[in-house]
Amino acid sequence: MIRKLLRLLLLSFLSLLTLYILLLSFVSISMGVTNTDRPGFWMPILSGLLVLWLSIYIIRLIVHIVGQSKVK
């Protein structure tokens, strides 16, 4: 019972964290794309893509945790 509750808490925390990271990533990419006339416009695009790549791994972790809970 406690393990289920902790797993649910972990999944909800990871989901909210991933949504926040995705929001930051899309805002960063859109700021870089809209300011292409300024020098260094590529930096927010690059950092947004790297953060997006990080969020993909967090999503894979969430899917792995859900898969492990369904096996038991």
Tens-place pLDDT, residues 21-58? 999 999 999 999 999 999 999 999 999 999 999 999 99
Query: What number of CA atoms fall less than 13 Å from residue 47's CA on the CB side?
Result: 12
The predicted model scores a pTM of 0.81
Query: What's the average model confidence in pLDDT over 12-28?
Result: 94
Assigned token pair, 58 = 């967090």
Q: Report residue 72's pLDDT band, with 50, 70 and 90 as the boundaries.
A: low
Helix (H), strand (E) at residue 69: helix 42-71
CA–CA separation, 64 vs 24, rounded Å?
Answer: 24
Report pLDDT for 2: 83
Query: What's the average model confidence in pLDDT over 13-25?
Result: 94
Q: Check residue 66 and report its DSSP letter.
A: H
Q: Which of 19, 57, 18, 49 is nearest to 31 (CA)?
A: 49
